[in-house]
Amino acid sequence: MIDEPVNIPDDEFYDEGKPSITWRGALREIIQLVLIVVLVRVGMDTFMPRYIVDGASMQPNFHTSERVIVDRITMLLSGPSRGDVIVLESPRSDDDLLIKRVIGLPNETVVIRDGRVYIDGYLLDEPYVMEYCQYQSCNGEWELGPDEYFVLGDNRSHSLDSHSFGPVNESLIKGIARVRYWPPQDADILDAPDYE
The CA distances from residue 94 to 54, 71, 97, 172, in Å, are 16, 21, 8, 10
Catalytic residue of the set 78, 81, 90, 100: 100
Catalytic-residue membership of 162: no
Domain architecture of the chain: domains with CATH: 49-189 (2.10.109.10)
Tens digit of each residue's pLDDT (9 = 90 or more) over 51-88: 788 888 999 999 999 999 898 888 888 889 999 999 99
Q: What is d(CA 66, CA 56) in angstroms, rounded to the nearest whole number?
A: 11
- Estimate to the nearest angstrom the gap between the alpha carbon of 71 and the chain centroid: 4
Residue 19 confidence (pLDDT): 54
Report how far Cα 33 is from the mean position of its chain's Cα atoms: 27
Q: Which of 18, 20, 57, 90 is catalytic?
A: 57
* Residue 100 a catalytic site member: yes
pLDDT in tens, 82-137: 999 999 998 888 778 999 999 999 999 999 999 899 999 999 999 999 888 888 88
